[in-house]
Chains A and B, each alone.
Chain A
Amino acid sequence: MKKVFLSSVMMFFIVIGYSQGYSPGSKATDFKLLNVDGNMVSMTDFPDAKGFIIIFTCNSCPYSVAYEDRKIALSNKYRPLGYPVIALNPNDSLVQPKDSFSKMIERSKEKRLPYHYLLDTDQKVAKQYGATRTPHVYVLQKEKDDLIVKYIGAIDNNYEDAASTSERYVEAAVDALLQGKDVAVASTKAIGCGIKFKK
């Protein structure tokens, strides 16, 4: 009996260990993480939201920095429409000191970030969602009591030059959801900095 129990425990860990994270259609799990203002924040704190734009991002990655103004613009545009941006920093600050909590507070003040910027302690949420790089976006939609993943990937198709983008994936996804339509492009890939997981 003990053996059976042990092997099922082991199976459980094996399955978790090989989990690839979410894909479009997955149910997303809520989180409760420390925001730069010192409060704990979870998605249940937004009862009026129709969904969320979850962005795994950080201070140190040049791609995340290049997208900073575009993240602010997304927040300004979609928060009033019911899709607030929530940024999560998953990097281990022992590996990348620029991504410490105090540096997050500094960045938030300096850029006057209009969105919540949370520390993904122990990188639990990044692992659960399957985020691998920064920036890595998950658009979620509230459906009854669930949060359903509707889009995973890049913000748009030109990291270097916002003016040269021809496809704005996140905007297109949220616009489709606002109109009650299906998201046409539900996942994209982008070059990004690998998340600094604990060694």
Chain B
Amino acid sequence: MKILLAADIENYSYVAAQEAARFAVNTWADVTLLGLEHADKGTHEISQRLAKALNTYIEFFTAPSSPFAGFDDRSLVKQGDKTWEMTASGQEGRKKLRVLVRRGDALENILAQTWEDEPDFIVVGGAVAGKPEWLGEINLPQKLASTAPCSVLVVKEKKDPETVVCCLDHDHVSQESLEIINQLVTQHRAQLKVVGIADGKGLAGKVEAKMNEVLRYYTERGIRSWVELVKSEDLSQFARNASASSLIGLWLGKQSLLKKIFSKRMLEQLIGEAGSSVLILK
């Protein structure tokens, strides 16, 4: 498994780094930590604040018992006009931790790194309303969730949710997304609720069959799970309520009706208002 953690110097990135590290250490994932800095920093060395933040984030990953143990004598080496890569010695760990810095447009830089690394999912921190946002980019996690080619986990707080709620409205669910949910449920020792979205005519046959298949997939693997039906017109309210205490997952695949229900504005609102983390599954 590969994870891309995108982080700046703000508190939400600190929390996202803690959560990403906890997940990566348990799953032995390969990780790219991408530090982001504003374009107005010029072409000189990266700021002390970002360097300090990155070192803090690296510590979350590199405890002696971790698969990323080591990572000493760190040094950021300029790779191009606006990119740096960290070199380190003593990497005794079995898994790869790559640390990079990109300066400039945060969203563009995260997407560029995503195309390069092809991670299974991206982890970003979500700012609390009214607090500093991603290098001046309003709603960056929301925009990333809409545009990224892979799943995106927007971390809102350091908490183990009791339930992972996944909303499903179409019959195409990728194996990768099922497996990401497995790992999250295992990590948090949570139970799983699969929510089907019913329109006026009830749940379409194909979706109902897929829901049963998904439910069987998880119960056979010993995950406590159940299904619930929600009317499409009540979904955004349901998702907002659920996101107060549960980790909420939305399957926003190409064939998804959720994409229509959750217009870009509503998705932005949900991620912005969610009390807990939100996982956008692709």
Q: A and B from one assembly?
A: no
Residue numbers of B with Cβ under 8 A of A are none
Residue numbers of A with Cβ under 8 A of B are none
